[in-house]
Structure 1
Amino acid sequence: MADKLKLDKSMALFEESQKVVPGGVAGIRRPYNFVPGEYPIFFDHGKGGHITDVDGNEYIDYLCAYGPIILGYREEEVDNAVIEQIRNKGICFSLTQPVQTQLAQKLTEIIPCCDMAAFVKTGSDATTIAIRVARAYTNKVKIARCGYHGWHDWCVEVKTGIPEKLYEDILEFHYNDLDNLEDILKANANDMAAIIITPVGHPLGNPVEMPKPGYLEGVRQLADKYGCVLIFDEIRSGFRCSLGGAQEYFGVTPDLATIGKAMANGYAIAALVGKKEIMNVLTKDVFLSSTFFPNSDAQVAALKTIEILERDKVLEVIAEKGKKFGAEVQKLVEESALPIQFTGAPWMPYITFNRDPEGLYKKLRNEFYTQLIRRRVFLQPYHHGYICYRHTDEDLAYTVQTIKESLDELKKLV
């Protein structure tokens, strides 16, 4: 049994922060989304594939800031490019700097569906403008959705404070189920504006799903059949499954796609990209504006990150590491004979616990992630992880060993 971590400073800071910040910290970063009392609440710094909390505990970090860290923390080439932009040119102006066009041109070269790009700051911004564009282009209203698409009114999972009329035209369908999708499209055939889907299925708190053979192709065919815009939400899969995203990897091209997270290795940027005839509604018909959308710091970071991804074949390296790691963890899971699943390799590794009527899975899940964090491996019980470029072979080997030790502890509970 590993020793409990010393977290005194984290806990004191959390108590202090609750006096001035609702909940102390925001949303998914709150303690109840981990194992309360076992996980740190505040980090101090990170470097490469490791992070250190305010109490000085260092961890191998597989959450990667919930996805943006594709290279590693404090990546010098990226940070230096941004620092140079800040010092020599500035980043926030009344008019746009030329780097925006350079980044858009680069995206047209690497993303299959991209003829044009519109830049925003977050994934929620990107998916929301995608819906607005699709509705304007088709002059229709209803949206078929599958996956997590952010926190805005039309798609947020928690509906408190949101009138039903703001999401009543959003129709959910199940991943890897073409019949379910077609039933929705058929029942609303005259008013379907778009299908939006995460091409890799990553439902909240549930196993990661890869598309079954022919599934994404089938979704593409249904979009064409019913005359609606096909949107791939590639906020997580973009710049991770391949340079051109899951659409490139799986060979299915949507009409629009949203990208973000890993594009700039931690700098705040996202984008809607897609076919010219659809994107052009943003020219005058659809409003999109923000004080900070054109800021060039993240655009410079994105260009440098993409340069490194290409030059060093980063995604091929991550995939190779992820496949090896995945095979070793899968073997441990099978040998354990515990009611658990390992999914998401090579890009989004995740260990989940099969639900049972008695609720044993909750006890097992808490104990497993307690054992991991005490061994200084940072993963999240309700969210898949990631592998970044700076995770070393030693990091991954150590993590496999800690998973084995943690599973051995679980066997004592069943």
Structure 2
Amino acid sequence: MTEATEVTEEFSLPRSRQANERLHALIPGGAHTYAKGDDQYPENLAPVISHGRGAHVWDVDGNRYIEYGSGLRSVSLGHAHPRVLEAVRREIDRGGNFVRPSIVEVEAAERFLATVPTADMVKFAKNGSDVTTAAVRLARAVTGRPRVAVCGDHPFFSVDDWFIGTTPMSAGIPAATTELTVAFPYGDLAATEELLTRYRDEVACLILEPAGHTEPPPGYLAGLRELADRHGVVLVFDEMITGLRWSEAGAQGLYGVTPDLSTFGKALGNGFAVSALAGRRELMEWGGLRHSGERVFLLSTTHGAETHALAAASAVQTTYVEEGVTARLHALGERLAAGVREATAAMGVGDHLVVRGRASNLVFATLDENLQPSQEYRTLFLRRLLAGGVLAPSFVVSSALDDADIDRTVDVVAQACAVYRKALDAADPAPWLAGRPVKPVFRRLV
């Protein structure tokens, strides 16, 4: 019996497999977020979750996992965090949605603007796409310009047409809409200035994640700020991931460069649905009632100010500030990265299984024998992690992890590296896949 066969027989998820069939019968794609689809996991090894607590989740088959990337980076304090749940329960008992604003809305706004002092005003919604699209609409209204310049090095900004039309999944989006979105490369001020010059007086905004898997080059964000001012362009920071994880005030708080508008989500609600558009008063008021110009339909969401979600956001921010959560995320990530790198080096796969990113937002790359990105080797690696009780589409940490979780993860990674080495030596990972490889989210065909 081969090692690959042993793994297949020892670790299987029959109940999860049945649940996935039910999901696909009722929900297009089998999940409400493409990044959670079972095509992102090895064949027949996509666990369906029963419940979670802290840094651990349990699937419907009864397996417990140490979880990374919790809720696609949204559950940064860990599942069922007591301080957040206390705030949520308090508001649920008082009613969740009214015909007029709740006092919770102003309290949540005050809490947010105290945490992100570079912004003057904030408006809440339910998901990141709503607020990034609102930022684009506002920038177009303020400048009177049609084009949107997106950073082409970042994978996702919105489900809306202005962005999705630029991806391989552009079906259903008119070409005329897509043509209004142009791309600029991260870290290259000269190329960005050339773009703004080529489309002089046409670009409404520059939108980007201020940081990603690498740190911004020295002076880059400040240079973008200067370019935006000189060309009359609105500078938008998408802080969905960097918000709270880079600093309590996001990347803008860490690097000291203030955008005109910024958007937050993910960690803001610790799993509860809340996002935020924040920015300079003179821009944000275009969506309000205290200006004399043409009105902008900025954001208007029935559920955008549900009291329990705003209470969760306030509790999350308070917890971050009072308990030093951002520093803890970095310390945990540094411990994990060091352990993984030591394990990969010891097994001779350090050049092939690579940990990247800021310590609070680690990802891994799986490279083949020619050092090229490989979905096959990613599949092999994920299979071994799952069998070892580690659910890790990334290595993004939550503050609920402890040293024992990190140490156990490193042990499982070391075991996976032994198989990785065998596959590299054979120049063929196929015997260890037991099915089709995992697939990228953005692809034109199923």
TM score, norm. by length of structure 2: 0.86
Partner amino acid for 2:402?
Answer: T
Gaps of 5+ in 2: 290-294, 425-446
Q: Is the 8 A contact 2:135 2:261 kept in 1?
A: yes
Identify the residue that residue 422 of structure 2 maps to in structure 1.
412
Q: Distance in 1 between matches of 2:320 and 2:147?
A: 37
Partner amino acid for 2:91?
Answer: Q
SS at match of 1:189: coil
Task: State how 1:4-403 maps to structure 2 within 5 Å.
Answer: 4=8, 5-26=11-32, 27-40=34-47, 42-87=48-93, 89-146=94-151, 147=154, 148-156=156-164, 157=167, 158-201=169-212, 208-284=213-289, 285-287=295-297, 288-335=299-346, 336-354=349-367, 361-380=374-393, 384-403=394-413
Q: Distance in 2 between matches of 1:14 and 1:233?
A: 33
Q: Shift of the alpha carbon at 1:140?
A: 1.3
Gaps of 5+ in 1: 202-207
Q: Is the 8 A contact 2:74 2:268 kept in 1?
A: yes
Partner amino acid for 2:215?
Answer: M
What root-mean-square deviation, in Å, do the aligned CA atoms of Structure 1 and Structure 2 show?
Answer: 1.9
Q: Is the 8 A contact 2:366 2:373 kept in 1?
A: no
Q: Distance in 1 between matches of 2:124 and 2:375?
A: 41
SS at match of 1:272: strand
Q: Is the 8 A contact 2:146 2:202 kept in 1?
A: yes
Q: Deviations over 1:37-81 (max 9, x none)?
A: 2231x1000000000011111101102100111111011221121
Q: Is the 8 A contact 1:38 1:374 kept in 2?
A: no
Q: Is the 8 A contact 2:55 2:67 kept in 1?
A: yes
Q: Shift of the alpha carbon at 1:20?
A: 2.2
Q: Shift of the alpha carbon at 1:338?
A: 3.7
Partner amino acid for 1:37?
Answer: N
Identify the residue that residue 204 of structure 1 maps to in structure 2.
none
Q: Shift of the alpha carbon at 1:17?
A: 2.6
Partner amino acid for 1:236?
Answer: I
Q: Distance in 1 between matches of 2:18 and 2:366?
A: 32
Q: Distance in 1 between matches of 2:142 and 2:118?
A: 16
Q: Shift of the alpha carbon at 1:278?
A: 0.8
Q: Distance in 2 between matches of 1:184 and 1:254?
A: 19
Q: Shift of the alpha carbon at 1:209?
A: 2.6
SS at match of 2:246: coil
Partner amino acid for 2:365?
Answer: T
Q: Shift of the alpha carbon at 1:274?
A: 0.5
Question: Identical aligned pairs, as a percentage?
Answer: 31
Task: Report the CA distance shift for 1:299/1:358 in structure 2 as closer, same or farther (over 3 A).
Answer: closer
Q: Which runs of 4+ in 1 moved over 4 A?
A: 355-360
Aligned length in residues: 403
Q: Shift of the alpha carbon at 1:242?
A: 0.7
Q: Shift of the alpha carbon at 1:356?
A: 7.6
Q: Deviations over 1:242-280 (max 9, x none)?
A: 100011112211111000111111110001001101111
Q: Distance in 1 between matches of 2:342 and 2:198?
A: 44
Partner amino acid for 1:39?
Answer: A
Q: Is the 8 A contact 1:242 1:248 kept in 2?
A: yes
Q: Is the 8 A contact 1:338 1:411 kept in 2?
A: no
- Please, which moves more after superposition, 272-281 or 360-369? 360-369
Q: Distance in 2 between matches of 1:13 and 1:331?
A: 38
Q: Shift of the alpha carbon at 1:349?
A: 1.0
- Please, which moves more after superposition, 254-263 or 138-147? 138-147
Partner amino acid for 1:153?
Answer: D
Q: Distance in 2 between matches of 1:340 and 1:304?
A: 37
